Amino acid sequence: MDPHRFVTAVGLIDQANASDPVWETWRGKPYPRTWLYGIRMTDWLVRLYPDAPETAFLAARAQHVCRWLIPRDRYPSGRRGYLAWRTFLYRLHGETAARLLRRAGSGESAIGQVKRILMKRGLKRDPQVQMVEDAACLVFLQYYFLPFAQDYSDDKLIDIVGKTWKKMSPQAQQAAIKLPLSGREARLVQQALKRP
């Protein structure tokens, strides 16, 4: 690993994410939402996989890079619209990360691996894709499940948590069980885990 190239790549990803016009307050301070998401992804990746390869780290940092450019409401409501939006975002994140990594001087092999991770190719088969997916699931459960849950019924949320759980490795599932969820969120997670 070339430390200078790595630091440059992280800086370019952070710079892109810092352009998010939507801000989020965390621990009393405002942050660009996508930049903060990248920090949270990095934190969970390092906690779960301290020896993760450089490409997994870069993919975690770029997981939502420039996501605000394509808001959800540009696609139809419902599952079909959501899947089309998500598929487009995978491509956006992969291509944006590739462009930034080329600027940082990364090689094509590393860029290709980061793109594969961001496009979710090889989940459950490629260890790096699984590492980043584990981090994404834990970030969702820790930071975004509570506000997300306000817009959905219990049955819908139990289904979503169940699908999230199945995407996680046993190591990530153990970390999720230890999250300090309470109230409705804790109850929904418990109910989701009881379903076959």
CA angle 33, 68, 40 (to 5 degrees): 30
The mean pLDDT value for 61-85 works out to: 93
Query: In which band, very low, low, confident or very high, does the pLDDT at 151 lie, cut at 50, 70 and 90?
Result: confident
d(CA 128, CA 22): 29
Reply yes or no on whether the pLDDT at 155 is more than 90: no
d(CA 20, CA 16): 8
Q: Is the dihedral of CA 39, 45, 51, 53 positive or negative?
A: negative
- What pLDDT is attached to residue 34? 96
Phi–psi pair at 32, nearest 5 degrees: -60, 130
Reply yes or no on whether the pLDDT at 1 is more than 90: no
Residue 100's SS3 state is helix
Where helices occur in 29-142 by DSSP H, the ranges are: 33-48, 54-61, 78-104, 108-118, 127-139
- What pLDDT is attached to residue 196? 64
Q: At what angle do helices 127-139 and 154-167 cross, to 10 degrees?
A: 150
Task: Report pLDDT digits (tens) over 40-70.
Answer: 999 999 999 999 999 999 999 999 999 999 9
- What pLDDT is attached to residue 87? 92
Mean pLDDT of the chain: 92
The mean pLDDT value for 158-184 works out to: 89
Considering only residues 2 and 195, tell me which one the structure prediction assigns the higher pLDDT: 2
Reply yes or no on whether the pLDDT at 122 is more than 90: no
**Least confident residue range of 86-95, 108-117, 187-196:** 187-196
Phi–psi pair at 23, nearest 5 degrees: -115, 155
The mean pLDDT value for 26-50 works out to: 96
- What pLDDT is attached to residue 157? 85
d(CA 179, CA 165): 14
In the chain, pLDDT over 90 holds for what percent of residues? Answer: 72
